[in-house]
Amino acid sequence: MVKKALNTVYAMWLREMLRFSRSKSRIIGSLSTPLFFLVILGAGFSSSFEIRGGGMFDKSFLAPGLIGMSVLFSSIMGGVSIIWDREFGFLKEILIAPVSRFFVALGKAVGGVTTAMIQGTLIMIIAWLIGVEYVSIPGVLAAIGVMFVTGIGFIGLGISLATRIESHEGFQMVMSFLTMPLVLLSGAFFPISNLPAWMSYLVYANPLTYSVEALRFCLLGSSTIPLPESVAVIVLFALVMTGLGGNLFGKMRV
């Protein structure tokens, strides 16, 4: 029983890895956006802003935000890619197999989160190479853990959306009406300590905010939201989304 579940998860993970390893251009493409932000925004802003209470608004400040952004993009994509599986038929091959839908969805999620973590880690390394300093090695490892939990949450969200979305057009809608606001309202690009009230509600309602804050704490040693709080929120988010995604996927018809 357990072995069968693990087999299913592993098979789905393997498939994601095989596909990932064959899409070099996708990897490069998804790395380039955050890197442009990091280099250009970092250089442009560092001279002009100082964060109240000390610390510079520079590439070090941006790095955790951009890692969070990249994990968000690739994990939502990973979940929503079920739309493609449906469009190109492979979903039927999965749905007709005598395996638990929940573990299929979980395998898809673990596969997607692996790619998200690889991309997040690559950005973390590149940022370090161009001069961002991290506080400690355990901190860096903890950051990878944060990427994992964040990725699971957003993949669950992506899978849930995919079961409701009928088409490509719907997919475009998700990408522009969901991911951009999530990124912009997350504190990836600005400190969240001094926001107008209306905005701070939105920022604090956004799960990505807590991921970025947790990453900031792990990598740079300080954050506005205390670490236990941010970790609690992202873990809860991941659990809820896994439950929701697994459930909706279980009821999905092609």
Partner 1 sequence: MLNAIETARITKYFDDITAVNNITLEVKAGELFGLLGPNGAGKTTLINLLSTMTAASKGSAAVWGYDVVKQASAVRRNIGVVFQDTTLDDRLTGRENLDLHGRFYGLDSKTRKSRIKEVLLLVGLYDRADAIVKTYSGGMMRRLEIARGLMHHPRVLFLDEPTLGLDPQTRRHIWEYIKTLNRKEGVTIVLTTHYMEEADNLCRRIAIIDCGKIVALNTPQILKNMLGGDVITLEVENPEDTGNLCKIYESNEIPSTISCNDKRIFITLKDGERRIPRVLALASDVRIPIQSVSLRKPTLDDVFLYHTGRAIRDEKEPGMAERVGYRLRSRRK
The two tokens of residue 45 are 């802003």
- Measured CA to CA, the distance from residue 101 to residue 105 in angstroms comes to 6
Question: Total residues contacting partner 1 (rule CB under 8 A)?
Answer: 26
**132 in Cβ contact with 43 (< 8 Å):** no
- Measured CA to CA, the distance from residue 43 to residue 51 in angstroms comes to 15
Binding of partner 1 at residue 92 (CB under 8 A)? yes
Q: How far is the CB of 170 from partner 1 (least distance, A)?
A: 15
The candidate with the shortest Cα–Cα distance to 149, out of 246, 20, 238, is 238
**250 in Cβ contact with 101 (< 8 Å):** yes
Residues 69-88 that bind partner 1 (CB under 8 A): 87-88
> Which listed range, 9-17, 50-58, 134-142, 229-237, lies at the site for partner 1 (CB under 8 A)?
9-17
**109 in Cβ contact with 245 (< 8 Å):** yes
> Which listed range, 6-14, 144-152, 155-163, 177-185, lies at the site for partner 1 (CB under 8 A)?
6-14
- Choose which of 40, 43, 97, 173 interacts with partner 1 (CB under 8 A): 97
- Measured CA to CA, the distance from residue 160 to residue 154 in angstroms comes to 10
Of 52 and 253, nearer to partner 1 (C-beta) is 253
Using a 10 angstrom Cβ sphere, with 0-12 exposed, 13-18 middle and 19 or more buried, the burial of residue 60 is: buried
Binding of partner 1 at residue 98 (CB under 8 A)? yes
- Choose which of 33, 43, 55, 90 interacts with partner 1 (CB under 8 A): 90
Q: What string marks each residue from 12 to 51 as x (binds partner 1 by CB under 8 A) or -?
A: --xx--xx--xx----------------------------
Q: Which residues bind partner 1 (CB under 8 A)?
A: 4, 7-8, 10-11, 14-15, 18-19, 22-23, 87-99, 253-254
